[in-house]
Amino acid sequence: MLNFFKGYKYIGITLAILSVIIITTFYFILKPVEVLPIYQPAMVNYEMVDSTIQHQKKYHKIADFSLTNQNGETITQDTYKDKIYVADFFFTTCQTICPIMTDHMYQIQKNIKNDDEVMLLSHTVTPNIDSVAQLKKYALEKGVIDSKWNLVTGNKKQIYELARKSYLAVKTNGDGGPFDMIHTENFMLIDKKQQIRGFYDGTKPEEIDRLLHDIEVLKQENP
């Protein structure tokens, strides 16, 4: 009789294990996969979008560019080919939000320094002041790793058009006079197809945590 119940005991254990496996399998099958939005101009606050593209609902990508980094190297969209990257706009003499943003970019750099899929790109909005030499000095002060993070300068019109028409990051095109310039706290997450996948307030630690999380989500997408 005891042997009879022992047989049922082993059957019960086997069924319990199978049940756990089946439930776990169904959980992962039915669990919704987290997907980041692909931002189009029509999805963004109209103030942040140039009037020429405000109604665009698809196919928006970061425009091709050619700028110069802290080492005097030419940086183009090909530098970021097949890369996920975080972009922002700053200037080295800024005493308000830029130091906070740069510190947060440095934090991101620490998290992604061994990740070959992810890079950083910071555009100066005062290219007349931020020469290659000035950017190099700033990069050394802020602990920039050249292979991970490019600080770029170049043609002001190109930089401002990138901010306004590509990254959808600013409320003005900065053409109100010689002392008018763009300034934004936005960080943008760009995927391997040069599409915008997220906007973040670069001055807030909780937003940086969200950005780091979203980078991991984006890495799970099919290339």
Residues in binding site for Cu cation: 94, 98, 183
User: Judging by DSSP bridges, how do beta strands 84-90 and 186-190 pair with one another?
Assistant: antiparallel
Q: Is the dihedral of CA 218, 219, 222, 223 positive or negative?
A: positive
What span, in angstroms and rounded, lies between the C-alpha atoms of 5 and 7? Answer: 5
Which tokens go with 113? 């320094």
Mutual angle of helices 205-219 and 98-112, in 10-degree steps: 40
CA 102 to chain centre: 14
Length of the chain, please? Answer: 223
Question: Strands (DSSP E) along the chain, which ranges?
Answer: 66-68, 74-76, 84-90, 118-124, 149-152, 186-190, 196-201
* Contact present, 192 and 223 (Cβ < 8 Å): yes
Residues in binding site: 94, 98, 183
